[in-house]
């Protein structure tokens, strides 16, 4: 009997209509379009505006599109996992809310928090439920409303992040397609460089925490940059070696979109030419858990059955990792 693998059988993204350009940011903080473009690669980000709208609204939009595309009903979904660091609420899980909004009444749902590596952690977790034969249809959502935790007076962080969501459907394959391998890592000692100081159990919200602007992303950019370059490049090279893949064998590198310079370093280390690297940081910024599914969505029409694809990410935690998958369908 052939091995069951977990194949991505549909992908869908969603970004909200409002945008925040580098020119807009020039009016808000002491920065320039030139600095942002050359240091990060970002030109514009999408921002979710509107009273009462949160991460689940973007996730639900992506999932609705995914179901319509695949022509299936929400009631057929067995499990929905959402990767996010900007949940609608601390509890219940945003995945539960997405399932409710789309009508996935037979799915159980939960969130995974691995910051910018969240989609990789969730995809690997979800694939296990397919590989065991237990489930037939599992949705993985990567969604973040980063604008809800970005300090728009801090020029070092507000220029990077944007809002968005992406979702994929996983189904069993017996054709040797889908997720082949993954290497995932975490190192909690890196938490000092990238975190949110207040709002958790260590420092619940107080007047003082609000006054001190502690409910926003804190990032010490340089150490994160250095760890990201090493972590993402090392793990991507490692997964290629482990699976006997040369640069020629790799059809696409799908890197987390945090900084163009980190992406370039990873591609160089893998020996993969820039024509094989998915880059959309210029139009969305860093959407945290959504960057990788948003890339797959943007490039979907160019992907072919059997393409060897390497996903790679690095983020808060620290967390990082790489997934090797074989694309499983053609887009008409
Ligand atoms: O996705 C999750 C993981 N996160 C990442 O991977 C992000 C990793 N880090 C980075 O991408 C970069 O560190 C940043 C983009 C955040 C910052 O770029 P950098 O090249 O590391 O800049 P820096 O922090 O070393 O700052 C260099 C200079 C400083 O000025 P001085 O001290 O040299 O006078 C900053 O104050 O640039 C200044 N600066 C800015 N100038 C204009 C910092 N932010 C800005 C800005 N506009 N927005």
pLDDT along the chain (332 residues), means of 10: 91 98 98 97 98 98 98 98 98 98 98 98 98 97 98 97 98 96 97 97 97 97 95 95 97 97 93 96 98 98 98 97 98 88
Say how many Å lie between the CA of residue 143 and the centre of ligand 1.
24
Q: Known catalytic residue: 243?
A: no
147 is a domain residue: yes
Cβ of residue 265 lying under 6 Å from some atom of ligand 1: no
User: Domain span at residue 69?
Assistant: 5-175
Atom number, ligand 1, closest to the C-alpha of residue 259: 11
Instruction: Clarify whether residues 171 and 187 are in a common domain.
Output: no
Give the pLDDT of residue 1.
57
113 is a domain residue: yes
Q: Known catalytic residue: 82?
A: no
Instruction: Clarify whether residues 217 and 311 are in a common domain.
Output: yes
Among the candidates 144, 175, 206, a domain finishes at 175
Instruction: Clarify whether residues 32 and 168 are in a common domain.
Output: yes
Q: What is the CATH number of the domain that holds 187?
A: 3.40.47.10
Cβ of residue 203 lying under 6 Å from some atom of ligand 1: no
Among the candidates 143, 175, 207, a domain finishes at 175
149 is a domain residue: yes
Say how many Å lie between the CA of residue 39 and the centre of ligand 1.
7
332 is a domain residue: no
Cβ of residue 230 lying under 6 Å from some atom of ligand 1: no
Q: Which one is catalytic: 22, 256, 259, 295?
A: 256
Give the pLDDT of residue 176.
93
Say how many Å lie between the CA of residue 181 and the centre of ligand 1.
34
Instruction: Clarify whether residues 205 and 250 are in a common domain.
Output: yes
Decide: 143 and 281 in contact? Cβ < 8 Å: no
The residue whose CA has the least distance to atom 16 of ligand 1 is: 221
Give the pLDDT of residue 152.
98
Instruction: Clarify whether residues 109 and 237 are in a common domain.
Output: no
Instruction: Clarify whether residues 48 and 147 are in a common domain.
Output: yes
Decide: 46 and 17 in contact? Cβ < 8 Å: yes
Total count of domains within the chain = 2
316 is a domain residue: yes
Instruction: Clarify whether residues 68 and 212 are in a common domain.
Output: no
Instruction: Clarify whether residues 215 and 290 are in a common domain.
Output: yes
200 is a domain residue: yes
Among the candidates 175, 192, 222, a domain finishes at 175
pTM above 0.95, yes or no: yes
């Amino acid at each position: 009997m052939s091995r069951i693998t977990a194949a991505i059988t549909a992908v869908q993204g969603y970004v909200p209509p409002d945008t925040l350009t580098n020119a807009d940011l020039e009016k808000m903080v002491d920065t320039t379009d030139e600095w942002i473009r050359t240091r990060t690669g970002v030109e514009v980000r999408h921002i979710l505006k509107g009273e009462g709208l949160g991460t689940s609204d973007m996730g639900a939009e992506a999932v609705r599109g995914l179901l319509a595309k695949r022509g299936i009903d929400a009631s057929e979904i067995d499990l929905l996992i959402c990767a996010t660091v900007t949940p609608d609420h601390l509890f219940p899980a945003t995945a539960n809310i997405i399932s409710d909004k789309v009508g996935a009444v037979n799915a159980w749902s939960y969130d995974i928090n691995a910051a910018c590596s969240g989609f990789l952690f969730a995809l690997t977790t979800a694939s296990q439920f397919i590989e065991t034969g237990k489930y037939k249809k599992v949705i993985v959502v990567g969604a973040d409303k980063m604008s809800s935790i970005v300090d728009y007076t801090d020029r070092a962080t507000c220029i990077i992040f944007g809002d968005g969501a992406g979702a994929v459907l996983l189904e069993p394959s017996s054709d040797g397609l889908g997720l082949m391998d993954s290497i995932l890592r975490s190192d909690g000692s890196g938490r000092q460089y990238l975190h949110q100081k207040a709002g958790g159990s260590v420092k619940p919200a107080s007047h003082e925490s609000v006054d001190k602007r502690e409910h926003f992303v804190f990032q010490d950019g340089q150490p994160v940059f250095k760890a990201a370059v090493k972590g993402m490049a090392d793990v991507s090279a490692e997964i290629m070696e482990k699976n006997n893949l040369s640069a020629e064998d790799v059809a696409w590198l799908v890197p987390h979109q945090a900084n163009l310079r980190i992406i370039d370093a990873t591609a160089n280390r893998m020996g993969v030419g820039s024509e094989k690297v998915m880059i959309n940081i210029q139009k969305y910024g860093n959407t945290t858990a959504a960057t990788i599914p948003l890339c797959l969505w943007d490039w979907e029409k160019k992907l072919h059955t059997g393409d060897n694809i390497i996903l790679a990410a690095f983020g808060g935690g620290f967390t990082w990792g790489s997934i090797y998958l074989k694309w499983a369908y053609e887009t008409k």
